[in-house]
Amino acid sequence: MAEVYYVGVDVGTASVRAALVTREGLLKTTAEEPITIWNPQPEHYVQSSTEIWQKCCSVVKEVTSEVQSDQIRGVGFDATCSLVVLDESFQPVPVTQDGDPQKNVVMWMDHRAAAQADRITNTGHRVLSRVGGVMSQEMQPPKLLWLKENLKDRCWNKAAHFFDLPDFLSWKATDSTTRSLCTLVCKWTYCPPIGWDPSFWTSIGLEDLLENNFSKMGSATCPPGSPLAGGLTPQAAADLGLNPGTAVGASLIDAHAGGLGVLGADVQGFNLPCEGWPITSRMAMICGTSTCHMAISEQPRIVPGVWGPYLSAMVPDLWLNEGGQSATGRLVDHIVKGHAAYAELQEQVNQRVPFTGTDVYSYLNSHLAQMAGSPPDVDLLGSSLHVWPDFHGNRSPLADPTLKGMVIGLPLSQTVDDLARLYLATLQALALGTRHILESMREAECDIRTLFLCGGLSKNLLFVQIQASATALPVVLPDQSEAVLVGAAVLGACASQDYGTIQEAMEKMAKVGRVVQPNQELKSFYDRKYRVFLQLFSHQREYQALMKHR
């Protein structure tokens, strides 16, 4: 009997990826294509849904080229929580001042709607209790309000369909406008089993979205992984090179797919503190351009500054709390590539690449080890250099998009050694940000015992080790390097009904790869470093208050 497969498709910030995944969760082949990001003015980031779908088709065809199409049992999509705008004929509607219809996606990291988000927060509406008390400009209501107030004729009056990008992809595949509970609950204020709250949309000036039972945003919903319509339409099947009717699962936001790809792994025999405890003792961290911190619970838990509780947004019938950092991988790149010694660093790396294949960050990790002399001492190189990492605002647990980055302890020199120390201090700051989120969750009685990491940054072992040591928790890395793609494939496996539930598919398809334990010798160091970290935040608030006065 021929082996069966599932296809997972992941639309990230800058690329589209696909994987051919076995029933056991093993990656057979992967493919990747870049996608365009336009930055027409500060804080505006836009994309094209047409280009994104074309790239999805390209990578799916590539990963399935060596198997028969009837071996593909199901397809799952995940994507960033970006906003797609279409007209009545499902054609792109522009979201930019230049009126280019191909630029019809407001990206997740687009911060144009800061003022609208503040106004929504100031309403104090009851739906805000499910988003940590503060409406983020990365959610969809403020972006919708911005479009109405700033592009009414060019965009708002022509728009008939507003999709979260994951739902757009499942619509393109199946013609079903049913939305995933993941997107609507996490980014649109939808609350099952009640549904939409008309008073919220009226209170913020978007009462026109109530028309036709909220049809522009979605009238029908289902849990992630639910089979949609009749599977792939003939047109989508032709586009993707698959059979019509192939099962398609209701989609997920990319970070949540990462959660599916790691959280269910069997940890027996790894001597982890979560062994023998329910899945609610685990927190998934999906670490890429930004980082999402995802914990699930059997009962709803309200954590100030942390999004949720969201029912059935990732795992059906369980509540999700979602913390996050708006810039992590992006911040590391910014710090390293913006340093005066970056050109010199590149020269040193290029001299080694022909012999070792070393990238910039592997080189920096080795360079820090040479500077320190022994592994525990690498962390101590950051003793006198401290970073507050919110260069793009704080998502959690402070929920303050106005916060900026800070660096304390810079010398006058600008050598590669100085760059390496600043890189280290940035990694440490990101880990202390995770600790800050964890402490807020623990105050709400979330019992987190083990961290499960995936995403691009999790391939940096110094980043992983610092996360473990700074939080005093072990870190589990997945067996498969692309856990987000495994999570997307879980959706297809569930939709195919080869597995009865999301939980069953998670347990069978996610596996432990490596465990990184915290360095207990550094506990005192990170306790002190964390106290300094919190003082940086206090100082920034004082500076802001002082500068408000003329």
CA distance 225 to 501: 9
pLDDT band at 550 (very low <50, low <70, confident <90, very high): low
Distance separating alpha carbons of residues 430 and 126, to the nearest angstrom: 31
Q: What is the pLDDT of residues 174-193, one digit of tens each?
A: 999 999 999 999 999 999 99
Contact 165, 84 (CB under 8 A): yes
d(CA 453, CA 457): 9
How much helix, strand and coil, in percent to the nearest 5, is found in the chain? Answer: 40, 20, 40
The more confidently predicted of residues 430 and 358 is 430
CA atoms within 13 A on the CB side of 11: 35
Q: Is 250 helix (H, G, I), strand (E, B) or coil?
A: strand
Q: Contacts for 13-18 with beta carbons within 8 Å, 24 or more apart?
A: 13/37, 13/80, 13/107, 13/108, 13/109, 13/288, 13/289, 14/289, 15/55, 16/52, 16/55, 16/56, 16/58, 16/59, 17/59, 17/482, 17/485, 18/56, 18/59, 18/60, 18/62, 18/63, 18/485
pLDDT of residue 119: 97
Q: pTM higher than 0.75 for the full model?
A: yes
State the sign of the Cα–Cα–Cα–Cα dihedral 299, 300, 302, 306: positive
- Residue 252, token pair as written in the block: 């997920």
pLDDT digits (tens, 9 = 90+) for 92-148: 999 999 999 999 999 999 999 999 999 999 999 999 999 988 999 999 999 999 999
pLDDT at 428: 98
For residue 401, the model assigns a pLDDT of: 87
Determine which of 211-220, 374-383, 426-435 has the lowest per-residue pLDDT on average: 374-383
pLDDT, residue 354, reads 62
User: Cα dihedral sign for 101, 105, 111, 117?
Assistant: positive
pLDDT 10s digits, 19-59: 999 999 999 999 999 999 999 999 999 999 999 999 999 99
SS3 of 51-62: HHHHHHHHHHHH
263-276 per-position pLDDT tens digit: 999 999 999 999 99
pLDDT tens digits along 201-223: 999 999 999 999 999 999 999 99
Most distant pair of Cα atoms in the chain: their distance: 77
Q: What is the pLDDT of residue 132?
A: 86
- Residue 539's pLDDT band (cuts 50, 70, 90): confident
Angle at 43 between CA 183 and CA 91, to 5 degrees: 50
Residue 319 has pLDDT above 90, yes or no: yes
- Residue 417's pLDDT is 98
**What would the pLDDT profile of 398-424 be if each residue is shown by its tens digit?**
999 889 999 999 999 999 999 999 999
**Are 105 and 46 spatial neighbours (Cβ–Cβ below 8 Å)?**
yes
| Measured distance CA(17)–CA(510) in Å, rounded | 19
Q: What integer pLDDT is reported at residue 375 of this predicted model?
A: 72
CA dihedral 280, 474, 427, 391 (to 10 degrees): 10
Question: For residue 404, what pLDDT is reported?
Answer: 93
More confident residue, 540 or 413: 413
Residue 95, judged by CB atoms within 10 A of its CB (0-12, 13-18, 19+), counts as buried
Q: Is the pLDDT of residue 357 over 60?
A: no
Structural domains in the chain, sorted by start: 5-252 (3.30.420.40), 329-435 (1.20.58.2240)
Tens of pLDDT, residue by residue over 496-517, are 999 999 999 999 999 999 999 9
Query: Can you list the alpha helix ranges (DSSP code H) found in 180-328?
Result: 181-187, 198-203, 211-214, 234-240, 254-262
Confidence of residue 353 (pLDDT cuts 50, 70, 90): low
At residue 441, the pLDDT reads 96
DSSP symbol at 517: -
Q: What is the pLDDT of residue 446?
A: 94
Distance separating alpha carbons of residues 281 and 474, to the nearest angstrom: 12
What would the pLDDT profile of 59-108 be if each residue is shown by its tens digit? 999 999 999 999 999 999 999 999 999 999 999 999 999 999 999 999 99
In the chain, what percentage of residues exceed pLDDT 70?
98
